[in-house]
Structure 1
Amino acid sequence: MSSDTATDRPQPRPRGDFRVFRTIPTRWADNDAYGHINNVVYYAWFDTVVNAHLVERGALDIERSPVIGLVVETQCRYFAPLAFPQTVEAGLRVARLGNSSVRYEIGLFAQGAPLSAAHGHFIHVYVDRASRRPAPLPAPLHAVLSELL
Structure 2
Amino acid sequence: MDNDVYGHVNNVVYYSWFDTAVNAHLIEQGALDIHGGQTIGLVIETQCNYFAPLAFPQVVDAGIRVAHIGSSSVRYELGLFAAGEPLSAASGHFVHVYVDRATRRPVPLPQRLREVLQALQP
TM-score by length of 2: 0.96
Alignment of 1:32-71 (within 5 A): 32-71=4-43
Find 1:128's aligned residue among 86, 91, 100.
Answer: 100
| Alpha-carbon distance in 2 for matches of 1:143, 1:64 | 20
Matched, 1:141 2:121: no
Q: CA deviation at 1:33?
A: 0.2
Compute the displacement of 1:64 (Å). 1.6
Tell me if 1:86 matches 2:52.
no
Aligned identity (percent) is 71
Map Cα deviations across residues 76-112 of structure 1 (whole Å, 9 max, x no partner).
0000111112111110110111110000111001111
Displaced runs of 4+ in structure 1, greater than 2 A?
A: none
Residue 79 (structure 2) aligned to one of 87, 92, 107 = 107
Q: Letter of the aligned partner of 2:58 in structure 1? A: Q
Structure 2 equivalent of residue 4 of structure 1: none
For residues 42-101 of structure 1, the C-alpha deviation after alignment (integer angstroms, 9 at most, x for no partner) is 011011000000000000011121111010000000001111121111101101111100
3-state SS of paired residue (2:48): strand
* Number of equivalences: 121
**Are residues 1:118 and 2:90 paired?**
yes
CA RMSD of aligned residues (A): 0.8
Residue deviations 1:7-41, cap 9 Å, x none? Answer: xxxxxxxxxxxxxxxxxxxx4x2x11000110111
What's the CA shift for 1:132?
0.9
Q: Does 1:95 align with 2:61?
A: no
Query: What secondary structure does 2:43 align onto?
Result: strand
Unaligned runs of 5+ in 1: 1-26
TM-score, length of structure 1 as denominator length: 0.79
